[in-house]
Amino acid sequence: MRKTVKWAAGFALAFALAIGGCDLLQKAREAVSGGAGDTIVKDNPDDTAVWVSFSVRASGWTPTTRLVLSFDKPVAGLTAADITLIDTGGTGIQKGELSVLDDAAQYYALAVSGIGGSGAVGVEVAAPAGYKWLPVEYSSLPAGKAIVHVNALKVAVRLTGVEAGGIAGWIATKALKLQFSILTPYSKALMPISLDGLTAEDITLIDTGGTGIQKGALSDALYYDDYGSPYYHVEGYPNTKYYVLAVSGITKHGLVTVKVAAPAGYFLATDYGSAQVVYGTE
């Protein structure tokens, strides 16, 4: 039956082209496509899908708090429900929310929690409608699957900067800027880092100078390097942040010590710093 359809379609198309008839050419096209009501099985039903390759890696610093999925083309519509974690290493990992890291939707971050031990985790991703996964080169895993190693160790972080704004006698200090760093394992240099989960409740102000300072809300802002660009401490990881603690009630200049309690998953090797705050009329 299939050979007969193909032979008839080819004959109709050749005949139409030979005589130049518009009506016959249209009928030939209908014969090739199956006509108005007929259906012909395509040899490759996936020929309209976008073929995409992807890889998965754990966040670069311990403990693992997210898995970063990288695609070689934009992939729209991916959700956390499309991702299955297979805890082959018995790590206790739990899947959280999925977020897009860039405007093109080529990089996604899957939040993870509950990791009680280091080990291997399988990641299986169901392709959204209109997409197909390409096999990973040099991998024995099927397309759409990957294995990553997650880590349960705490990050040793240092509070490396406490800055107080204001101009003595004119503009009072209204905020303290806090910066944190990690000692990199390779270069042994301090590198800025964000502290996921840090809140104002984690911060204690010790009013050494009797300034009357009162603690307010904590916010964060992007950390920029010396060239004015957002600082990435790991490729594909969200921009590194510093933290701004609002303060009020300052009645005189003096020294204030800041002590920070580490959020879950972090160890603070240096947990305190100090700054001179100033009193002002504005």
- At residue 194, the pLDDT reads 82
- At residue 126, the pLDDT reads 93
- At residue 97, the pLDDT reads 95
Q: What is the pLDDT of residues 158-216, one digit of tens each?
A: 898 899 988 877 888 999 999 888 876 655 677 788 888 899 999 999 999 999 999 99
- The answer, as to whether pTM is greater than 0.75, is no
Three-state secondary structure readout of the chain? CHHHHHHHHHHHHHHHHHHCCHHHHHHHHHHHHCCCCCCCCCCCCCCCCEEECEEEEECCCCCCCEEEEEECCCCCCCCHHHEEEECCCCCCCEEEEEEECCCCCCEEEEEEECCCCCEEEEEEECCCCCEEECCCCCCCCCCCEEEEEECCCCEEEEEEEEEECCECCCECCCEEEEEEEEECCCCCCEEECCCCCCCHHHEEEECCCCCCCEEEEEEEEECECCCCCECCCCCCCCCCEEEEEEEECCCCCEEEEEEECCCCCEEEEECEEEEEECCCCC
Model confidence at 19: pLDDT above 90 = no
Model confidence at 229: pLDDT above 80 = no
Model confidence at 233: pLDDT above 80 = no
Q: What is the pLDDT of residues 110-157, one digit of tens each?
A: 999 999 888 999 999 999 999 999 887 666 788 889 999 998 877 788
Model confidence at 86: pLDDT above 80 = yes
